[in-house]
Amino acid sequence: MATQTTPAPNKLIVGNNPALPLSLDTQMPESNTGGALVWFRRDLRAFDHAALHHALRAGGPVHCAFVFDQPILQGLPRDDRRVAFIHASLAELAAELEDLGGHLLVLHDDARTAIPALAERLGAAAVYANEDYDPAAIARDENVAGALRTAGRELKLYKDQVIFAKDEVLSQAGKPLSVFTPYKKAWLRRLEAEPSALAPWQVEPYKAAFAPGRSKLPALADIGFAGAATAGAGMSGGAALFDAFQSHLADYGTARDFPAQPGTSRLSVHLRFGTVSVRHLARTVQQLAARGQAGDGGSVWLSELIWREFYQMILYFNPHMVQSSFKPAYDKVQWETGAEADEMFAAWCAGRTGFPLVDAAMLQLNRTGFMHNRLRMVTASFLCKDLGIDWRRGEAYFALKLDDYELASNNGGWQWAASSGCDAQPFFRIFNPVTQSERFDGDGEFIRAFLPQLGGLAKKQIHAPWLHGGVAGYPAPLVDHAEARQKTLERFEVVKK
């Protein structure tokens, strides 16, 4: 696999955005010989790629395209890190496709109209893409499929971002499972019966079917964004992280809970944008386990991959979760509103709650685009259970800030914390932010990294500085946790009626 991170010179931009220097009509290859168009979305790699494999095997010429989808990009900040990550990943993808004999056409447009138009211009008989299970993506794909069908073409979708999708893991009664442990057991049983689910979709053996050509990425400024090149993006970035993670995979089961330790893989953003193959990840863990090199951590990490697929399945069968509680009774909960609630929410967003672990976690998110998973649970619980603020507000903030934002996992995690989701934390189990801090950042190392003004406190003081006279410049706690806990228990009484 090539590891170049810059596009070759003289590559071609296509699209109808007037900000771009070249136009679709004058610069597209003159081809009307059939073949296929592979539409890259959240699968930015040139290996083990289901749609690309099937298109190449069907015969050429095979063109490849990516759309900076205007409806998705609208409303994002100009310096959105995710757009920069995609841009850098596309540069590497374009270079890899050229090494294989192909090219990448990059558009800045509305995919619902741009993909059918591009397929017509190329004379492609079919568009190949990998499935996306978000409700908005499903609606988009139905729109594209309809336009292609009207023109006598076809949209062919393949499973790629998960190992088992939609209705492939069900209860013995053939129903979707809503509790994780039975789902995980059924998932593992299916994998044992169908080990070929981890087999890679080969690309290189069929590379002769690529349509030759040149490709070029627009600059970020050409699509309305700014930002520096993203280090560690693309296929090479994902591969490097996974290689490094394997050396401490065995310790993952315990190390993953401590945010000051490098105990996690940090692959979530690569899973989100498909610069790694989930099949390759799971297959490698299996191989390490067979050699006795995965320890307990291997099975725990595989469980995290299964959690991701569980949430994808849940959202697919329950699209109402985008705006509502999985458990309808929880929509009766009356969250705090008004000016005071808005001020508390703003303090939570800014990392000014007065609870050091919560604040350090929010500062990590705001500054880096990443938040440790343990801290996602702590901060979400704090917003819902200590401040009494609607989980949807927190979910939307994470959606704006997380580099690895994925609707299914973000929604599932927030509804877990708010007790409104499937297999959720019971509402009467409420994280104590001080206890969590003492347990998972005992020495205060993570807190000190983001709140240096607390650096002078001893490790026994740093978790609740207000109990030790406070620190100038650091806020007092927004709430008393014991009082907030009691108020939460009263708030959730409505779900029992």
For the chain, the helix, strand and coil percentages under 3-state DSSP, each to the nearest 5: 55, 5, 40
395 as an active site residue: the answer is no
List the one residue out of 401, 433, 439, 435 whose CA is nearest residue 417.
433
129 phi/psi in degrees, rounded to 5: -155, 165
Tell me how far the alpha carbon of residue 129 is from its chain's centroid: 18
Query: Cβ(270)–Cβ(238) under 8 Å?
Result: yes
Neighbours of 163 (CB within 10 A): 23
The catalytic position among 335, 336, 438, 466 is 335
Distance between the two ends of the chain, CA-based, in angstroms?
59
Report the distance separating Cα 114 and Cα 156, nearest Å: 17
Report the distance separating Cα 257 and Cα 259, nearest Å: 6
Cα dist from 279 to 197, 282, 306, 337, whole Å:
8, 5, 12, 44
Read off the DSSP letter of residue 264. Answer: S
Structure tokens belonging to residue 200: 């890679």
Report the distance separating Cα 341 and Cα 347, nearest Å: 10
391 as an active site residue: the answer is yes
Give the strand pairing for 154-158 and 104-109: unpaired
304 as an active site residue: the answer is yes
Neighbours of 145 (CB within 10 A): 19
Structure tokens belonging to residue 110: 């509305």
The catalytic position among 187, 301, 414, 416 is 414
39 as an active site residue: the answer is no
Cα dist from 268 to 11, 92, 97, whole Å:
30, 19, 24
Q: State the residue for tokens 């290859």.
A: 29
The catalytic position among 348, 391, 406, 411 is 391
Query: Cβ(217)–Cβ(90) under 8 Å?
Result: yes
Report the distance separating Cα 70 and Cα 271, nearest Å: 22
414 as an active site residue: the answer is yes
The catalytic position among 39, 187, 301, 307 is 307
Q: Is the bond leading into 61 cis (omega within 30 degrees of zero)?
A: yes
The catalytic position among 120, 143, 373, 445 is 373
Structure tokens belonging to residue 410: 């973000």
416 as an active site residue: the answer is no
The catalytic position among 304, 336, 438, 445 is 304
Q: State the residue for tokens 């083990």.
A: 48
Structure tokens belonging to residue 466: 């207000």
Any idea which residues carry the catalytic annotation? 304, 307, 335, 373, 391, 414
